[in-house]
Every structure is written in structure tokens, then in C-alpha cells.
Amino acid sequence: MNIAFTGTGSYIPETIKKNDAFLDHNFLNTDGSTIKNSNEIIIKKFKAITGIEERRYASPEQNTSDLATIAAKKAIKNANINAEHIDYIIVAHNFGDVNENSNQSDILPCLASRVKHNLKIKNPKCVAYDILFGCPGWLEACIQANAFIKAGIANTCLVIGAETLSRIVDDHDRDSMIYADGAGAAILEKTNEPSTILAHETASFTFDESHYLFYGCSYNQNLDADTRYIKMHGRKIYEFALSNVPQAMKSCLDKSGVDIKDIKKILIHQANEKMDEAIIERFYKLYNSTPPNGIMPMSIHKLGNSSVATVPTLFDLIRHNQLGDHQINKGDIIIFASVGGGMHINAMVYKY
């Protein structure tokens, strides 16, 4: 029995926020003091490190579950299935629905229930639930869906990654420039086609690393101390990722039995261009090899870091020939990989 992606969809919000939109921000240090460098220098350094030139924000009337629903509808249409036949809807996110200018997370009911409601699915045996797993959430949800199908308790699963990170950022934190909004979705089904998931790997590092990403106060000490925003220890995350993600990818690839020379694409969480490039370099070094040109497609330059949405959005764009010259052909071997809050890491080897 093979388990394959039979359809994908994504939603990229229309509102574009370029780097120069941050020129008038009052960026502060963690202690609330003024940063000595000008915003021009801050933004220039930011782009050099992350590769981000612009990002997308959801419109005021949209929420995370709305973005998820749009991506889901596209995936269902692309897979050419009846939504009533979906056995599981799994939505990966981090902060639920967050209304514009609210900063308050709303996950009652869960986003998967909201998406199922929006899709007008009547079948009560279509189970809808959320997964909170940081940026690797969509990939982990795929791994869970794969297990359900393998166990014989599901035939068709809808897996979504959606987020509106722009609504939980501290405008006084330079890291606020990283985050973006978006949604990506995929249908996983039991199939007779040769396409299938070959192997997967997941690890959670929590002893010292669990709070590398956290909810914290604004750097502006004049603001309400009880209002929290997404925060991160960037240098620690960078070092953690470089030390652990390549090893997880290697473990997954070795488990699949695929030779590294046969990999056609690596779809990695779009968090930071320099970090992703370093991860791929270290991964290939583990096999005494160097990454071939074009192995790692990037969407971060124009879309920013939309957390759980980055990998499924990237996958969908490539499948529909909407990311430059990047293509995936039948029989190609792909590695998916992600790292994020928790700290969690996962990887999956897939034969397209």
C-alpha cells in the first residue's frame, strides 16, 4: 500500500509589506534601550542574513482559519475528491485565530473544526483536530496522517498548515520583520500509484532547548507587561538547527534506503536563508558530498517566514510550476524538513 499526496493548495495573502515599510519603526534592545544603528543599517543586515525582501500579511477581515479554508478548498479541488469522504482534517498552527489588533489567541472551537464547518462537511466521522508543534507542525501532521492510513483507520486526510504571525509580533523587536502570514494544504490518500512516503523522522529537544522560542513582553517597557508576543533566542536556534537538523535528515534518508545522489529537491522550512543554506551544506557533508545547484527551492525572499505554512506552500508552488524554474517530476525523490518552537525537528523522504 502506498500513501501519496494527491492534491495540494495554498493561499498567499495579497497584502505585501516590503522591508522599507519598517524604516519608521522604533526598534529597541531587549532591555528597552535604543539601538545605536539606524533602521537603514538594521534592515540591510536583516536582509543579508535572512534573505527576506518582503512578506505577506492577511487582510484585516481574514483570520488563520479563513486562510486555511482557502488552501483546503484548492487542495480538495486539485485532488478531485468529495470532501465528504475525508476521514481526518488536521490543522497545524501556533496561535489559533487572532483578530486584527487583538493579539489574543482563539482556539475554541479548534481551527480544524472551523475549517470543516467552512467546507460544509456534514459527515460526523470526518474527525477534525489541531496540532501545536511549532514550525514543523504541518510535516508532523502529515506523519500522523500517514500513520492513520497505514493503520487502516483512514483512507483520505486533509492536512493544513496556517498562520497569521503578523498579529502576534512586537513592533519594537527586529525579529518582527521575519514573520508572515499564509496557508498551505495537502490531501494524503491511500493509492495504487508508485508515489509514497518512504521514511520519516521526528525528535523533540526540550531539556535545555524548549524555550528558545517563547511568549514574552514587548521591548517597549511602557507597554502593558501582560500583553505577550512571539520572541526567540535567534543565535541559539541557529546553532541548534545547524547541529541537529542535518543529522535528522540523514537518519531519515538512511532509513529510506535512498542514495543521496538520487535526491532531486529538499523542501526545508523557510526560516532564514543563511541558516537553511548552512543546514543543507552540513547535510551533504555527512555524505562527503556537496549540494547540487537548485536542490533547495526558496520562497522566503518574497513570502517571509509563515511558520507551518512555509513547507506546504513551497510544495504547492512547485507542483503548479509557480516557483521559477523549479519542477518536480514523477519518480523524483524529495526530502521535507523543518525545525521550530518546542524545539522540534522532523524530516520525511517522499517519492513523488
Catalytic residue set = 135, 269, 305
Non-local (6+) Cβ contacts of 247 within 8 A are 286
Strand residue runs (E) in the chain: 2-11, 15-18, 54-57, 88-93, 127-132, 156-164, 181-191, 196-204, 213-216, 229-232, 263-268, 333-340, 344-351
Query: CA dist 110 to 60, 95, 275, Å?
Result: 21, 11, 33
- Kindly report the backbone phi and psi dihedral angles of residue 339, in degrees, each rounded to the nearest multiple of 5, phi listed first: -145, 145
CB count, 10 Å around CB of 237? 20
Report the alpha-carbon distance of residue 40 to residue 312 in Å, rounded: 33
Q: Are 185 and 71 in contact (CB under 8 A)?
A: yes
Q: Are 77 and 6 in contact (CB under 8 A)?
A: no
Dihedral-angle region of residue 342 (phi above 0 means left; psi in -120 to 50 means alpha; beta otherwise): left
What b/e sequence results for 165-177 when a residue is b if at least 16 CB atoms lie within 10 Å of its CB, and e otherwise? bbbbbbebbbbbb
Report the alpha-carbon distance of residue 349 to residue 257 in Å, rounded: 10
Report the alpha-carbon distance of residue 293 to residue 280 in Å, rounded: 11
